[in-house]
Amino acid sequence: MKTSIRKGDVERLVGARHWDPFSVLGPHVVEEKGRRFVSVRVIHPGAQGVALMRDGEEGPSRTVLSRVHPDGVFEAQFPGEAEIFPYRLEFTDRSGYRWEQHDPYAFGLVLSDFDIHLLAEGSHLEEYEKLGSHVIAHGGVRGTAFAVWAPNAERVSVVCNANHWDGRVHPMRSRGESGIWEIFLPEVVEEEVYKYEIRSREGGKILLKTDPFAFRCERPPRTGSIVCSIDGYEWGDSAWMEERARRSVLDGPFSVYEVHLGSWKRKEGEGGPYLSYRELADDLVPYVKEMGYTHIELMPVAEHPFDGSWGYQVLGYFAPTSRFGRPGEFMEFVDRCHREGIGVILDWVPAHFPRDSHGLASFDGTHLYEHADPRLGEHRDWGTLIFNFGRREVANFLLSNALFWLKKYHIDGLRVDAVASMLYLDYSRKPGEWVPNAFGGRENLEAIAFLKRMNEEVHARHPGAVTIAEESTAWPAVSRPVYLGGLGFTLKWNMGWMHDMLSFIAQDPIHRKFHFGELTFALLYAFHENFVLPFSHDEVVHLKRSMLDKMPGDLWRKFANLRLLYSYMYSHPGKKLLFMGGEIAQWEEWNHDQSLQWDLLQWDSHKGVQRFVRDLNRLYRETPALHETDFRPEGFEWIDFRDVDNTVVSLLRRGKDPSDCVACVFNFTPVPREAYRVGVPFPGRYVEALNSDAEAYGGSNVGNGGSVAAEEKPWMGRPFSVSLSLPPLGAIFLLPG
């Protein structure tokens, strides 16, 4: 048979270089020398033979295709047909095994021209609904639609088990200048493992890439994407979501338990080291509820290849890590949190991504997601690459990803990692190692614009959701609305307070009076931003020692100092965050490959700290004065911060109703103070609502018998005062009775 395929097209197909395979493969109406016929062309290098199966008026028929190239190009011509007709293909391999399937090249477009237009201009905020892999019915046939952005590719193929990972079998359709490639593979459904094989125009290099939009990935160290539908989960958190939209996090309690899911608790003596999402829902969620936290913050759960990155070097931006289970099981985990009244915050990492060859780096053989200039495109500190925020497709990829977690997984907030590295072009760079912006400055204008838009879209589309910046510099108005000139975050980590407090508390008590500035300095700027006070994972790794081990003194003093530190944190304006293990006074630094030291709870001292943190959270949630006015100057008053010699400070927190208040007194020395007078605003009795030195917490039980009466004796500028027994290295919280 004389083939109707041009020789050049055949050579490009078998060489896996054809940029427009749909113009050759599949059914085509051919007009040749005045005659019109249908030609069906197939490529399958692994096939010994191919036959076409069709239903006609006279019943089923089978036509064997002729091999027109030894590398597996086949064709059949139907002279009596002038229009394309439905058919199936029967393949036979060299062992004689036969199978049938629909021809992918007989199906039309999946993405509309309007989809392509929105994707190309970077305005499709649900990009994940179009790109990636999606199980659909197309032309009445169930299969998977694949689409990927690779504008500098010469050819892109889906490779998977169904085609024996041969890039010649299923080359994709180019959608022109948009740079998007698509194909529908009939009968390929969920659980199929796949990648994209990309031939770059730059030297014809062959790249094998994980799908940037995959909803599920293989468990590391394997790197394949998996076809997966994430629709269909029946959520039971409607009451939570409705309430979240009505309330403001700014004037409510916000106490966060930061968790690394892989090391909170490990299995022992079983096949795998990790608890699954369902097991975490059974164990972690009740624990967080019992401990009184309002939110869990999860260190990155998006798929990442390297355990040692703790999740901060992400490659599967749309896939919860398979280390702990399937996407639906992560939904169940979030749902369980919400049903128990616990919010879920995710660490989100748009600041950088790893260089892994199967990931985003040089995705189509060019610097697609990253800058080509290493002065703009590399983080040498982390050995990672920087997103090109000025490229509309890249910015839209990240923006749609942020919205994806909030919509599809009902996440309540995003804590954006390493914001400072995004804001400054000279971040951790020497002169000559960075490129100024268009105005000669050090500000990354494209990243700033991206962050502003991200915050605007999150707050507009998901009422009640929060965005939190880990930003370690004095960049102004990080947590102020964009329309007021800010970056638009809801909250910002107060890194300065954290460093000052840890420096102060690490001093031997006899020297603390010389470091009072570290204790009080944060009040000079406490209301410039909406701050979170963080004792995060970063403070208990890399030889920084655990929270307990940072404390000075003997064993008793270490525990007392830790309870005192937590007390001061909860009295200070700002929301709260504590990394897991801090609540049980873990001795060892955090290790991502090991479980927390839960066995320490056999000791009363550790059990006492855990009990204290639980009661501290309870007091914080039940006392409006401790959370309602975190970001208003009228919510905080010093009672006395001048008693340097005794190293005692006292303060007053007020709620929206000024009569709603709590007096907090802190003794930063190991010396009990008897008859220590403190000014208070109202007469009557004051209940000792919490005493960090209580015996139940492992303390010496110095206190005030549960309450103390105010005397009409002016003190410290107040009309009334109380005479207190101050516990050593202790804190007391007094509520008007």
Confidence (pLDDT) at 272: 57
Q: Using an 8 Å Cβ cutoff, are 335 and 236 in contact?
A: yes
Q: What are the residues whose beta carbons fall under 8 Å from the beta carbon of 31, sequence distance 6 or more? A: none
pTM across the whole model: 0.95
Amino acid 108: pLDDT: 94
Q: What is the mean pLDDT of the chain?
A: 95
Q: Under a CB-based contact definition with an 8 Å cutoff, are residues 687 and 706 in contact?
A: yes
Residue 583 sits at φ, ψ, to 5 deg, of -80, -15
pLDDT reported for residue 628: 97
Report d(CA 19, CA 368) in Å as an integer.
19
Q: What is the pLDDT of residue 80?
A: 81
Establish if 507 belongs to a structural domain.
no
* Mean local confidence (pLDDT), 386-393: 96
* pLDDT at position 82: 83
627 located within any domain: no
**Rounded CA separation 150/293 (Å):** 44
- Among 153, 185, 209, the domain-final residue is 209
pLDDT surpasses 90 at 1 = no
Instruction: Note whether residue 436 is domain-resident.
Output: no
Mean pLDDT confidence for 434-444: 96
31 or 310, greater pLDDT = 310
pLDDT in tens, 57-89: 777 899 999 999 999 999 999 988 889 999 999
Gap between the Cα atoms of 74 and 424, Å rounded: 57
How far, CA to CA in Å, does 375 sit from each of 205, 393, 422?
Answer: 25, 21, 13
User: Is the same domain home to 24 and 90?
Assistant: yes
Q: Which residue has the tokens 């549960």?
A: 706
Cβ proximity of 232 and 331 under 8 Å: no
Q: What is the pLDDT of residues 537-548, one digit of tens each?
A: 999 999 999 999
640 and 732 together in one domain = yes
Residues 638 and 732 reside in one and the same domain: yes
Q: pLDDT category, 111, cuts 50, 70, 90?
A: very high
194, 209, 224 — which closes off a domain?
A: 209
Residue 417 among the catalytic residues: yes
Tokens representing 473 are 């510099």
Residue 75 domain-assigned (yes or no): yes
Task: Report the greatest alpha carbon distance in the chain.
Answer: 113
- CATH code for the domain of 639: 2.60.40.1180
Helix (H, G, I), strand (E, B) or coil at 207: strand
The answer to whether 547 touches 585, Cβ cutoff 8 Å, is: yes
Look at the block and give the residue holding tokens 């307070």: 497
Burial of 113 (0-12, 13-18, 19+ CB in 10 A): exposed
Options 90, 182, 417, 446, the catalytic residue: 417
Write down which residue in 38, 70, 103 finishes a domain: 103
pLDDT digits (tens, 9 = 90+) for 596-642: 999 999 999 999 999 999 999 999 999 999 999 999 999 999 999 99
Do 92 and 157 fall into the same domain?
no
Binned at pLDDT 50, 70 and 90, residue 3 comes out as confident
Q: Decide which of 381 and 218 is more confident.
A: 218
Q: Are residues 60 and 136 in the same domain?
A: no
CB contact at 8 A, 149 and 90: no
The whole-number average pLDDT for the span 164-181 is 96
| Active-site position among 115, 393, 470, 693 | 470
Q: What is the DSSP letter of 460?
A: H
Task: Report how many domains make up the chain.
Answer: 3
Half-sphere exposure of 547 (CA within 13 A, CB side): 26
Q: How many CB atoms lie within 10 A of CB 221?
A: 8
The answer to whether residues 37 and 120 belong to one domain is no
Question: Averaged over 260-278, what is the pLDDT?
Answer: 85
Task: Note whether 96 and 117 are same-domain residues.
Answer: no
> Residues 447-474: what's their mean pLDDT?
97
> Is the model's pLDDT at 648 over the cut of 90?
yes
With 60 as the cut, is the pLDDT of residue 270 above it?
A: no
Are 87 and 148 contained in the same domain?
no
Q: In what order do the strands lie in the sheet with 26-32?
A: 26-32, 35-43, 73-78, 66-69
Asked if 127 and 182 sit in the same domain, the reply is: yes
Helices (H), 143-247: 238-246
CATH number of the structural domain spanning residue 41:
2.60.40.10
For tokens 């080359």, the residue is 171
**Is residue 539 assigned to a domain?**
no
Indicate whether 64 and 86 sit together in one domain: yes
> b vs e for 361-396, b when ≥16 Cβ sit within 10 Å of the residue's Cβ?
bbbbbbbbbbbeeeebbbbeebebbbbbbebebbbb
Phi then psi for 587, rounded to 5 degrees? -80, -40
Segment 553-558 mean pLDDT: 97
Q: What number of residues does the chain have? A: 737
Domain that holds residue 160: 113-209
| Residues 99 and 118 both lie in one domain | no
Query: What phi, psi does 711 have (nearest 5°)?
Result: -105, 150
Structural domain contains residue 655: yes
Residue 271 is predicted with a pLDDT of 46
Q: Is residue 350 a part of any domain in this protein?
A: no
H or E, element range at 452: helix 445-461
Q: Is the separation of the CB atoms in 439 and 491 below 8 Å? A: no
177 lies in some domain: yes
Residues 686 and 730 reside in one and the same domain: yes
